[in-house]
C-alpha cells in the first residue's frame, strides 16, 4: 500500500501539483476511493488509518523533494504532531507555531465543538512547503464501534468555528450538538448561558459520505454504468487499437482494468467518487471483498506508475499521458454503454481467477476453484 500510494501521489504531483493533492485528501469520497484502489476494505473505517499510515511511511522520507509533509497519526502518534510540525517549520521556513495552533484547534473543534459521541483517536496534519494544509482525523464511538472521519482544508477556510469542514464521513446519528453550524453563531457568542438549549442540526452544505455495514459489494453500492464501461474498455478493446495507448502494450486486460481505475483516482473529477466501492474492483480487498488482492497485478501497477513518473521527471510525459487517456476513454464509453445485472457473476469470476494473479487476503492465499470457468458478457 505504501508503494502504490507513493506512486499515485507522485503522479498527481507531477500532473496537477501540491495544492491539488491536498484538495483531494480533503475530499472524503476521493479519500475513500483512494483507499479502495489501494486494496483496503472498501467500506471500512480502517481505510483512514491504513491510507494515512502508508502515505506517511512512503512520503515523509521524500518530503523535501515532494514538498509535502505528513504529521501525526493514530493514538500516541497523534500527540507527536506538534513536535513534527515545529520540525517542518524549521526545514521549510513556515511558521511552525501557527501550524501547531491549527492542528490543535481542529482537533479541539471535532472533539468538543461537535458533540456527536465520537472521541478522536487519529489526527493527521498534512502540510505543503507552500503553507497549505489538510487535516484528516477520525473518532470512534465506543457504544457502537462505529467511526466518523473529519476533513479540513486551509484553502477557503474562513473560520475554525463556523462550518470549517470540507467533508465528514460517517453514519447519520440523528440530532447532535454542532457548535460549528452557521445557525449556532448566537450560541457561540453566549455559550455559557444557552448550552442547555436544543441541539442544532447536523453539518450541512458539505460533502458527506456514509458507508454501509455490509462487507460484500452489492449493485446498489456501485455505479454500474461507470464500472461496466471501464471493464468493457479493458477486456474488449486492445490497446493496440488506440494510438494514444501504444505505450501500454504488454499489459493484459486484468492489469488494464486496475490501471484504468487507478487512472481515475489520479485524474478523475470530484463528482466521480460518489461510489467508492467501484474502486475495489482494481485490487479487491484484504478481507476478500469483492475478491482477494491480486498481488501480481498490484505490483505491475506500481511498476507502471513508477516508470511513468521517472520518465516524466526526465521530460518524457508520453506514458503519463497514456495512463490519463485510460480514464478519459472510460468516460467517453459511458455515453452509450448500457449496463446489465452481471455484477455477482463478475465478482465470482474475479474470485475464481484470483489465484492466477497471486490473490491474497488476511486469511492466506487464494486457491484454484473447483468450478468451471465463468464466461461473462459485459455489454
Give the pLDDT confidence of 179-211 residue by residue, as tens digits: 666 666 655 554 433 333 344 433 333 465 677
Average of per-residue pLDDT across 87-115: 90
Q: What is the 3-state secondary structure (H, E, C) of the chain?
A: CHHHHHHHHHHHHHHHCHHHHHHHHCCHHHHHHHHHHCCCCCCCCHHHHHHHHHHHHHHHHHHHHHCEEEEEEEHHHHHHHHHHHHHHHHHHCCCHHHHHHHHHHHHHHHHHHEECCCEEEEEEEEEECCCCEEEEEEEEECCCCEEEEEEEECCCCCCCCCCCEEEEECCCCCCCEECCCHHHHHHHHCHHHHCCCCCCCCCCCCEEECCCCCCCCCHHHCCHHHHHHHHHHHHHCCHHHCHHHHHHCCCCHHHHHHHHHHHHHHHCCHHHHCCHHHHHHHHCCCCCCCCCEEHHHHHHHHHHHHHHHHHHHCCCCHHHHHHHHHHHHHHHHHCCCCCCCCHHHHHHHHHHHHHHHCEEECCEECCCCCCCCCCCCCC
Please tell me the predicted confidence (pLDDT) of residue 253.
73
Q: Is the pLDDT of residue 213 over 90?
A: no
pLDDT of residue 44: 72
The predicted pLDDT at position 215 comes to 76
Task: Kindly tell me the burial class for residue 166, based on how many C-beta atoms sit within 10 Å of its own C-beta (0-12, 13-18, 19 or more).
Answer: buried
| Closest residue by Cα to residue 23 from 129, 153, 125 | 153
48-52, 248-252, 274-278: range with lowest mean pLDDT: 248-252
pLDDT confidence bin for 144, thresholds 50/70/90: confident
Q: Which of 71-80, 234-243, 353-362 has the lowest mean pLDDT?
A: 234-243
What are the distances in angstroms from CA 287 to CA 51, 110, 198, 270?
A: 16, 30, 42, 27
Res 125 pLDDT > 50: yes
Give 130 or 251, the one with higher predicted confidence. Answer: 130
Cell 486486460 sits at which residue?
253
pLDDT of residue 122: 94
Residue 279 near residue 265 (C-beta atoms within 8 A): yes
Please tell me the distance from the alpha carbon of residue 210 to that of residue 250, in angstroms, as a whole number: 39
Looking at residue 206, its pLDDT comes to 46
The whole-model pTM stands at 0.74
Amino acid at each position: 500500500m505504501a508503494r502504490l500510494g507513493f506512486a499515485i501521489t507522485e503522479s498527481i504531483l507531477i500532473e496537477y501539483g501540491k495544492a491539488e493533492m491536498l484538495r483531494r485528501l480533503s475530499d472524503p469520497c476521493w479519500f475513500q476511493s483512494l483507499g479502495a484502489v489501494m486494496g483496503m476494505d472498501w467500506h471500512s473505517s480502517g481505510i483512514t488509518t491504513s491510507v494515512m499510515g502508508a502515505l506517511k511511511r512512503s512520503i515523509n522520507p521524500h518530503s523535501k523533494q515532494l514538498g509535502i509533509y505528513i504529521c501525526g497519526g493514530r493514538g500516541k502518534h497523534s500527540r507527536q504532531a506538534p513536535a513534527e510540525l515545529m520540525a517542518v517549520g524549521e526545514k521549510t521556513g513556515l511558521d511552525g507555531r501557527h501550524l501547531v495552533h491549527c492542528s490543535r484547534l481542529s482537533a479541539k473543534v471535532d472533539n468538543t465543538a461537535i458533540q456527536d459521541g465520537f472521541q478522536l483517536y487519529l489526527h493527521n496534519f498534512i502540510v505543503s512547503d507552500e503553507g497549505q494544509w489538510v487535516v484528516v482525523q477520525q473518532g470512534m464511538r465506543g457504544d457502537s464501534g462505529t467511526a466518523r472521519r473529519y476533513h479540513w482544508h486551509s484553502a477557503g477556510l474562513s473560520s475554525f468555528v463556523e462550518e470549517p469542514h470540507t467533508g465528514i464521513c460517517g453514519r447519520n446519528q440523528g440530532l447532535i450538538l454542532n457548535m460549528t453550524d452557521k445557525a449556532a453563531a448566537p450560541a457561540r457568542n453566549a455559550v455559557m448561558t444557552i448550552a442547555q438549549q436544543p441541539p442544532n442540526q447536523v453539518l450541512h452544505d458539505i460533502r458527506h459520505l456514509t458507508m454501509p455495514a455490509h462487507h460484500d459489494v452489492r449493485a446498489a453500492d456501485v455505479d454500474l454504468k461507470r464500472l461496466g464501461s471501464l471493464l468493457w474498455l479493458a477486456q474488449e478493446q486492445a490497446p493496440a487499437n488506440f494510438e494514444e495507448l501504444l505505450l501500454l502494450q504488454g499489459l493484459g486486460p486484468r492489469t488494464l482494468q486496475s490501471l484504468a481505475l487507478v487512472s481515475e483516482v489520479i485524474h478523475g473529477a470530484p463528482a466521480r467518487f460518489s461510489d467508492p466501492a467501484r474502486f475495489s474492483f482494481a485490487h479487491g480487498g484484504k478481507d476478500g471483498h469483492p475478491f482477494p488482492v491480486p498481488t501480481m497485478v498490484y505490483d505491475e501497477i506500481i511498476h507502471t506508475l513508477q516508470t511513468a513518473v521517472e520518465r516524466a521527471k526526465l521530460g518524457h510525459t508520453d506514458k503519463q499521458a497514456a495512463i490519463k487517456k485510460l480514464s478519459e476513454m472510460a468516460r467517453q464509453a459511458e455515453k452509450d454503454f448500457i449496463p446489465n445485472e452481471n455484477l455477482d457473476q463478475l465478482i465470482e469470476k474475479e474470485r475464481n481467477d484470483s489465484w492466477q494473479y497471486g490473490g491474497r487476503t488476511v486469511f492466506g492465499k487464494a486457491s484454484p476453484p473447483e468450478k468451471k470457468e465463468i464466461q461473462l458478457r459485459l455489454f
